[in-house]
Amino acid sequence: MKLIQLEDCASDKISDAKSLLEENGFNCSYVEFEHLAEMDKLIAEKELQFQVNQLEQQISELESLYQTLSKRVRGFVKMELPSCKYSITDKFLEHLSGFPVEKWLETPNFVSSIVHPKFKDYFLSCCDEMKRGVIPKVMDYKIIRKDGEERWWLQFNIGAYSIDGKLVSVSAIIIDNTDRKITELKLKESEERFRSLVEQSVAGIVIVKDEKIIFANDVVFKHSGYSQSTISSLRFEDLEKIIHPDDFDFVMEQFRKVEEKELVPEFYYRIISPCKKVKWLSSQLKKFNHENGSTIAVIMVEVTKRVELEQKLRRERNLAQKYFDVAGTLLVVLDKDCKVVQINKRGCEILKYPKEEIIGKNWIDNFLPETIRETVRIKFAKAIAGEVSSQDDYENYILTEDGEERLISWKNAILLNEDNEIEAIISSGEDITQQRLAEELLQKNEYLKRT
C-alpha cells in the first residue's frame, strides 16, 4: 500500500484527489484523507492565530500611540457611540468651557448642554448623523461658558470603526474660534454694507483685479448698454471693443497712472454701446492694496447729456465771443469787485494795452484818471447793489497806456447768476472824444460869430 500525503491540498479538494488516485491504481481510504484534512485545518488555525496575535499587538501599539497623541493635543475629546459618553477629555477643555473635566466625563454628550440655544438643533442633528454612522468633518457653533460668556467653537471630527464597519467612536479637536469668527462676521457685515451701498449708488462702480473686471454694479450695465455677462468677462485687452478708438490709449494711460499714484482724478472718455451709439463717461480711479495683491475701483457716471450741453454752450460762447470781439464799441465785463473779467478787441485798441494786461485788474484803479476814481467807485457800488437803473447812460474819461484820456459814453447791463443775484456788469462804451472836441469847436465858432 502506498501512502500519498496531500498536505498542499485544500480540504474541499480531498474528495476529488481520492477519486483521481483510485482511477490510477491507488487504494485510498477516507480515514487517511480525513486525517490529512484535520492536519490541514489545524495548521490553518495556527496560522490564523498567529495573524490575530500580530494584529492585536499592532492594535495595542496604535492604541498606546493614540493615547499619547490625545494627551498632547489641546482640546481633544473622544465620544463613544451609541452612548455618547466621553472616554477621553483634555484638561484644556476646562479652560474653554469653564466646566471641570469631571463634568464632561460624567455627562453624556456634555457639549450639547452648553450649546447656545440658536445652535441647539444644528448640534443635535450633527450628533444624530454620527449615530447613523455619518461624521460631519467640521462643526461650527456657539456655546455659553459657565460664566455666561458666549464663545464660538470649531470642532474637527474623525471616526473609529469596528471590524464590521460600524462607527464606534468619534474623536474630536475643539478650538475657540471666537476672535476669527467675529472678524469674519464684521467683514461679512462690511461687505454686505458695501454691496448694498454699491448697488444703491447712482454711479457705476467697477472693481478690477489683475487687469480683469471682477465686479460691476447694475448702474454700469445701464450706462454702457452691455450685459452683465459681457462686462464681467472683460479683460483690459477687450476694452478696445467698447472704448472709442480715439480714447482707448488715453484710458489705458489713466490705469497706468493709478498703479503709480493710487488715485486718478476725474477724466472723460467715450464708449461705443452695442447699438453703436457714442456715450460719454466720467471716471475716477482709486487703487486699494491688499495682502493678496491690489484692486482698482472705477467710479463712473454717464455724462453724455452734460458733455453735449457743454459743447453746445461752448459753440454759443465762441460765437458770442466772435460777436463780442468784432463789435465796433468798447465792451468790458466787470465782476462785483470791479475786476475785468472780459474785454473785446476794440477795448484793447482804445486802452492801448494787450488783453492779458487788462484781464483780472481793477478797472477803476488802473484805467480811470485819478480825479474821478472815487466818484465812479460810488456809482459802481450802487450799480452792483441794484440801486442804479441799467438804462441810465453816463460819460467818463478812461486812461490809456500812454497817459491819454479818452471820453467814453457808457451803457450798462446787469448780469445775474442762477440765484437771480447780480454777478457782474457788462458795459458798452463809445469813444466820443473826437465828437466832443468837434462839438466844443462848433460852440466856440458860434460864440465868436455872435460876438
pLDDT tens column, 110-127 = 999 999 999 999 999 999
Do 205-307 and 327-439 fold alike per CATH? yes
Residue 195 confidence class, pLDDT cut points 50, 70, 90: low
Predicted pLDDT at 64 = 57
pLDDT at 366 over 50: yes
Q: What is the rounded average pLDDT of the residues 183-195?
A: 73
Q: Please tell me which residue, 206 or 149, carries the higher pLDDT value.
A: 149
Where does the pLDDT of residue 68 fall: very low under 50, low under 70, confident under 90, or very high at 90 and above?
Answer: low
The per-residue pLDDT for 8 is: 47
- For domain 327-439, which CATH number applies: 3.30.420.40, 3.40.190.10, 3.30.450.20, 3.20.20.70? 3.30.450.20
| CATH class for the domain made up of 73-182 | alpha beta
- Distance (Å, whole) CA 111 – CA 319: 84
pLDDT digits (tens, 9 = 90+) for 135-157: 999 999 999 999 999 999 999 99
Q: What is the pLDDT of residue 201?
A: 62
Question: Cell 494787450 belongs to which residue?
Answer: 354
The sheet carrying 278-290 orders its strands as: 212-216, 204-209, 293-302, 278-290, 263-272
Decide if 358 contacts 339 (C-beta within 8 A): no
**Does pLDDT of 32 surpass 60?**
no
Amino acid at 376: V
| Beta pairing, strands 405-416 & 422-431 | antiparallel
pTM: 0.41
Q: What is the pLDDT of residue 33?
A: 47
Q: Can you give the pLDDT at residue 27?
A: 62
pLDDT given at position 188: 76
SS3 state of residue 338: coil
- Residue boundaries of the structural domains of the chain: 1-72, 73-182, 205-307, 327-439
Residue 211 has pLDDT above 60, yes or no: yes
* Mean pLDDT of all residues belonging to the chain: 83
Q: How confident is the model at residue 10 (pLDDT cuts 50, 70, 90)?
A: low
- Is 90 exceeded by the pLDDT of residue 370? yes
| Whether CATH 3.40.190.10 fits 205-307 | no
Predicted confidence at residue 389, as pLDDT, reads 66
Q: Who wins on pLDDT, 41 or 211? A: 211
- Choose from 23-32, 125-134, 391-400 the range with maximum mean pLDDT: 125-134
Q: What are phi and psi of 168, to 5 degrees?
A: -110, -20
Backbone angles phi, psi at 303, to 5 degrees: -125, 25
